[in-house]
Amino acid sequence: MDFLSGLNPQQREAVETTEGPVLILAGAGSGKTRVITHRIAHLITARHVPPSSILSVTFTNKAAGEMRNRIGNILAGVGMNGQPLLATFHSFCVRLLRRDGDALAPIRPGFSKTFSIYDDDDQLAIIKAAYKRMGLDEKAMPYRNTLSAISSAKSNKETPQDLYNRATDPRVTKIAAVFEEYETALRQANALDFDDLLLETVRLLYHDAETREAWNRRLSYIMIDEYQDTNRSQYELMRLLTQRHSNVCVVGDEDQSIYSWRGADIRNILDFEKDFPQAKVIRLEQNYRSTKNILEAASVVVANNKERKGKWLWTDADEGDVLTIYPAYDSENEALFIADTTEKVLRQHPEYKVAILYRTNSQSRQIEEALRRYNRAYVVVGGTSYYQRAEVKDIVAYLKLAVQQSDSIALARIINVPARGIGKTTVEQADKFANEGGISLWDAINHMLETNAFGTRAHAAVRVFRDLIVELAEAVERLPLNEALAFIEERTGYRRMLEQENTPESQARLENLNELMNAAAEAVERGESVADFLDHAALVAQTDSIDANAQVTLMTIHNAKGLEFPMVFLAGMEEGLFPHSRSINSEAAMEEERRLCYVGMTRAEKRLIMTWAKYRRRFGGGEQERTMASRFLKEVPSNLVINMGVDEDDVPSVDLSSERQFVRDESRKNLYTGKTYNSLENISAFFKERGINTTLRPSSPPPAQRSAPPAMRPPQAPVAPRQTAFTRPPVAPPAPPQVSDDLPPWETGPSKSPTPITAGRPATPVGTRPPGPAPVRPIGPPPVVNRPPMPPAPVQKPPVRPAGQQMIRQPEQTGLFGDANSLFPPVQSKTTLPKAPPSPKSPPRTGTVVEHPKYGTGTIVRREGEGDDAKVVVIFQRYGMKKLVEKYAGLKKS
């Protein structure tokens, strides 16, 4: 079989150069994955390399899984003797240590192959405990800082003693002390953290010649993807594995190095030619992904960096659309714009996948709310992943403890969950005892029970707990994993606790636990052990959960690395947010931000829209603060972009105060899984990834869940009347009945806006907030947000994200992409504003029964404000409570 056809000459060379060290400098979208998969296929078929002699290391499990699929596809007809090893560095290390870890025991006292893996939650728990014992103050020395100091010391192979010796200020001395406690705790629990997985593997291979030789013999071809983001220990691992041969092929792009904060060392890629002087360097510079405009814009931006080898990608593709920059008034407007534009684009291109990318996870919330407002299915990658959820971690902690009682972190986590009368004091006593004796919490508890060291009440409670764990341990020995989990959930009372709580949240948690058992059942079917299951739970990364079927995906730009989408939004392009304020003082950090921007931009195949908000709240409660456009926006050549803002102060806006409230309420009601909604897909996807079948659940629920009962919808075509308000004809019509939040954007100038009132406007301020200046419309259509009607109070939904296609048809219109011929319809008249109807002479009082043209009969329950601004809160018989601007509402006494 020929795996060379269809490749360009450079790609072909990369595939054919199988012997000796190879450095592939692969620009964004240059067919890197294709090269790797074809290279593996070529090795197997043309060079007759046994598949099991090939190791290919990727950055995420997701990437590994995808690679597995692709290789499976292209080698479908080929009889293979074994499988190539496709792994992340971390999963490879776990595998190696679980297999050959015995040799490590002499070097790392207390180590055994049954080690557990501690994730950052577990790490944090250790740090907190250490702080408490040592009387340290979190405010003076944040946990996170300490943790990252420890992590970077570890990656430099420093011991606590080393850190202590080089300490120049008392803070570092304290960190060294915490570090020591931390290391003790890990060893005590026979646990490894993520750094250890790599470090201990390196130590094992370094010290134990036999293991090293064995792996060197076994793996004769090694490929490493995303090489620019490897760290020191990964580099050393690579060296140790390539001692017998130097058939190592690394693939990377220095412009896409975005993990230096995690210890990634860009020198690894820059110095590869020094490490291997005979290395062959191959450059892949033809981009197959993006339009010319996108590629050029991204290239110009990243060219502002000084620390780079410098390369210029080219493409045969068409120019495509120009990029769009949308300056929103505030972050809510930004979110609504994104949601609205997504709808329009998907209506025109139902086959598109849309990615909404941002710098920080916290930006997702408002965008999610806006998308939900449109009933648009979406997947959030990141935030709290499935295995990070408290309930899952709790049950997993029971499982870990049942398997290995020395896991003190697991024990501390669940000793009183559900509450069983073991209070803080009791736990502290045991913890103290354990620490002084250098033993595990479990041993401490047992010892204290024997010696009657607890009070009577505590003694009884702890005893019950101890017996419980013993019972669970037996059950885990005896039962298949899924049944063991069910047993744990019953026997510990955890399930009962959630059932009794009986809130939407607890229901969702129960669902998550069910899903955990499903995953366990599937693992059992595949013949996996408990240890395998726990390893997965620890190593599954958030990126691994990306659902390829989801049409709209939200994630950080970091998470988007390696992915591509026809349509990409980059949100929050503001100074201080992106580039992030923490990077603004360092040139190197700024360059990394710029590379991140490059990564984000080059994810886009066809359309790229970058948005920013002129005002943004930094914290939930605070005031909105003025922002500045990101410098990266200014680096984009102006001929490649349409900027929808004319000048800084002239910003379109959809400012909808009660909309906002509504959206918030809705999202609160639907808040069954916290921040993310990928939990269920996530877990099955991950566990299936190992098997052959990676079909994911459909991301849309059955139609029944999507649509509201018709009876509860507003009587007429839902959007049309509101739409009139947005596409107001030049001559002011009689003011339509309006809900206060329905004011078109250009009438709802927020009071803080510095814009002076434009000449020619009605003297009376229009809008809900005086002195509402009406920002003049810039070019382009109004950032119309077609809102579906208020749905009824949501029915309790299962914790599958309420999803599905847009259920409400929106009127045809020439929107941002509505017209295939012109990106933007003609500029609209900006001078016309509706005249306000005269205010009623005697305002209706609270309690008055009124008639609304659309909502029917209701009762006024509150009045707010005076004059043109007056708002009334009315409870309608059929539509519930609404806040209306009196002068627009068209209320009649009945």
Partner DNA sequence: CGAAGTGGGCTTTTT
Partner DNA sequence: GCCCACTTCG
We find the least distance from the C-beta atom of residue 799 to DNA, in angstroms, to be 17
Does 829 bind DNA (CB under 7 A)? Our answer is: no
Does 653 bind DNA (CB under 7 A)? Our answer is: no
**Of the residues 226, 236, 489, 574, which is catalytic?**
226
DSSP 654-691: ---HHHHHHHHHHHHHT-SSTT---HHHHHHHHHHHHS
Q: Using CB under 7 A as the criterion, what x/- string covers residues 442-461 for binding DNA?
A: ---------------xx---
DSSP 405-452: TT-HHHHHHHTTSS--S--HHHHHHHHHHHHHHT--HHHHHHHHHHTT
Does 556 bind DNA (CB under 7 A)? Our answer is: yes
Rounded CA-CA distance 209/199 in Å is: 16
- The residue (of 3 and 387) whose beta carbon lies closer to DNA is 387
50-89 residues in contact with DNA (CB under 7 A) are: 59-60, 88-89
Beta strands 624-626 and 604-617 are: antiparallel
Does 600 bind DNA (CB under 7 A)? Our answer is: no
Does 262 bind DNA (CB under 7 A)? Our answer is: yes
Does 156 bind DNA (CB under 7 A)? Our answer is: no
Examine the residue annotation and report whether 226 is marked as an active-site residue of this protein.
yes
Q: Which stretch binds DNA (CB under 7 A): 35-43, 179-187, 526-534, 615-623?
A: 615-623
Assigned token pair, 765: 């301020």
We find the least distance from the C-beta atom of residue 241 to DNA, in angstroms, to be 17
Cβ 71 vs Cβ 41: under 8 Å: yes
Q: Which stretch binds DNA (CB under 7 A): 106-114, 298-306, 556-564, 723-731?
A: 556-564
Q: Which stretch binds DNA (CB under 7 A): 72-80, 504-512, 520-528, 538-546?
A: 538-546
**Of the residues 17, 18, 33, 45, which is catalytic?**
33
Assigned token pair, 632: 């990266």
What are the distances in angstroms from CA 180 to CA 160, 172, 807?
A: 5, 12, 58
Rounded CA-CA distance 636/325 in Å is: 10
Which residues are CB-neighbours of 527 under 8 A, at least 6 positions away?
A: none
We find the least distance from the C-beta atom of residue 238 to DNA, in angstroms, to be 15
Rounded CA-CA distance 121/194 in Å is: 12
Does 331 bind DNA (CB under 7 A)? Our answer is: no
Does 463 bind DNA (CB under 7 A)? Our answer is: no
Q: Using CB under 7 A as the criterion, what x/- string covers residues 356-385 for binding DNA?
A: ---xxxx--x----------------x---
Strand partners, 609: 324, 569
We find the least distance from the C-beta atom of residue 420 to DNA, in angstroms, to be 6
We find the least distance from the C-beta atom of residue 522 to DNA, in angstroms, to be 22
Examine the residue annotation and report whether 225 is marked as an active-site residue of this protein.
yes
Examine the residue annotation and report whether 200 is marked as an active-site residue of this protein.
no
Does 845 bind DNA (CB under 7 A)? Our answer is: no
Rounded CA-CA distance 779/311 in Å is: 36
Among 287, 426, 553, 738, which residue interacts with DNA (rule: CB under 7 A)? Answer: 426
Find tokens 């726990």 and name the residue.
534
Does 587 bind DNA (CB under 7 A)? Our answer is: no
Which residues are CB-neighbours of 622 under 8 A, at least 6 positions away?
A: none
Q: Using CB under 7 A as the criterion, what x/- string covers residues 620-639 for binding DNA?
A: xxx-----------------
Does 425 bind DNA (CB under 7 A)? Our answer is: yes
Strand partners, 324: 609, 642
What are the distances in angstroms from CA 766 to CA 48, 233, 376, 688, 783?
A: 77, 64, 33, 57, 19
Rounded CA Rg of the chain: 30
Q: Which stretch binds DNA (CB under 7 A): 48-56, 336-344, 419-427, 814-822?
A: 419-427
Rounded CA-CA distance 50/861 in Å is: 78
Rounded CA-CA distance 763/187 in Å is: 75
- The residue (of 416 and 814) whose beta carbon lies closer to DNA is 416
Q: Which stretch binds DNA (CB under 7 A): 320-328, 422-430, 742-750, 767-775?
A: 422-430
- The residue (of 542 and 738) whose beta carbon lies closer to DNA is 542
**Of the residues 256, 543, 556, 676, which is catalytic?**
256
DSSP assignment letter at 150: H
- The residue (of 179 and 726) whose beta carbon lies closer to DNA is 179
The single-letter code of the amino acid at 128 is K
CB half-sphere exposure, 76, CA atoms < 13 A? 5
We find the least distance from the C-beta atom of residue 845 to DNA, in angstroms, to be 32
Does 846 bind DNA (CB under 7 A)? Our answer is: no
Rounded CA-CA distance 758/773 in Å is: 7
- The strand ranges marked E within 732-855 are 849-852
Does 142 bind DNA (CB under 7 A)? Our answer is: yes
Assigned token pair, 814: 């020439």
We find the least distance from the C-beta atom of residue 623 to DNA, in angstroms, to be 11
DSSP assignment letter at 856: E
Rounded CA-CA distance 305/270 in Å is: 15
- The residue (of 73 and 661) whose beta carbon lies closer to DNA is 661
- The residue (of 457 and 634) whose beta carbon lies closer to DNA is 457
Does 135 bind DNA (CB under 7 A)? Our answer is: no
Among 188, 559, 699, 738, which residue interacts with DNA (rule: CB under 7 A)? Answer: 559
Nearest alpha-carbon partner for 509 in 665, 633, 393 = 393
- The residue (of 138 and 180) whose beta carbon lies closer to DNA is 138
We find the least distance from the C-beta atom of residue 777 to DNA, in angstroms, to be 29
Assigned token pair, 34: 């294709």
We find the least distance from the C-beta atom of residue 129 to DNA, in angstroms, to be 10
181-240 residues in contact with DNA (CB under 7 A) are: 194
Cα three-residue angle 166-168-174, rounded to 5 degrees = 85
Assigned token pair, 617: 């709240």
- The residue (of 60 and 440) whose beta carbon lies closer to DNA is 60
Find tokens 């205010």 and name the residue.
839
Beta strands 880-885 and 641-643 are: unpaired
Assigned token pair, 788: 């579906």
**Of the residues 62, 373, 603, 616, which is catalytic?**
603
Among 48, 274, 306, 424, which residue interacts with DNA (rule: CB under 7 A)? Answer: 424
Q: Output phi, psi for 33, to 5 deg.
A: -60, -40
- The residue (of 75 and 441) whose beta carbon lies closer to DNA is 441
Cβ 574 vs Cβ 629: under 8 Å: yes
We find the least distance from the C-beta atom of residue 469 to DNA, in angstroms, to be 17
Examine the residue annotation and report whether 265 is marked as an active-site residue of this protein.
no
Among 16, 120, 180, 183, which residue interacts with DNA (rule: CB under 7 A)? Answer: 120
Helix (H, G, I), strand (E, B) or coil at 637: coil
Among 1, 19, 110, 144, which residue interacts with DNA (rule: CB under 7 A)? Answer: 144
- The residue (of 382 and 750) whose beta carbon lies closer to DNA is 382
Q: Output phi, psi for 440, to 5 deg.
A: -80, 160
Does 541 bind DNA (CB under 7 A)? Our answer is: yes
**Of the residues 10, 11, 12, 32, which is catalytic?**
32
Find tokens 């030619």 and name the residue.
273
Does 505 bind DNA (CB under 7 A)? Our answer is: no
Examine the residue annotation and report whether 32 is marked as an active-site residue of this protein.
yes
What is the separation of C-alpha 577 from the centre of its chain, rounded to a whole number of angstroms?
A: 17
Does 585 bind DNA (CB under 7 A)? Our answer is: no
Nearest alpha-carbon partner for 89 in 183, 179, 200 = 200
Beta strands 880-885 and 892-893 are: unpaired
Does 582 bind DNA (CB under 7 A)? Our answer is: yes
Examine the residue annotation and report whether 603 is marked as an active-site residue of this protein.
yes
Cβ 228 vs Cβ 269: under 8 Å: yes
Does 658 bind DNA (CB under 7 A)? Our answer is: no
Catalytic residue numbers, as ranges: 32-33, 225-226, 256, 603
- Positions in the binding site for DNA (CB under 7 A): 59-60, 88-90, 119-120, 128, 138-139, 142, 144, 194, 258, 261-262, 359-362, 365, 382, 416, 419-426, 457-458, 539, 541-544, 555-556, 558-559, 580, 582-583, 589, 618-622, 664, 674-675
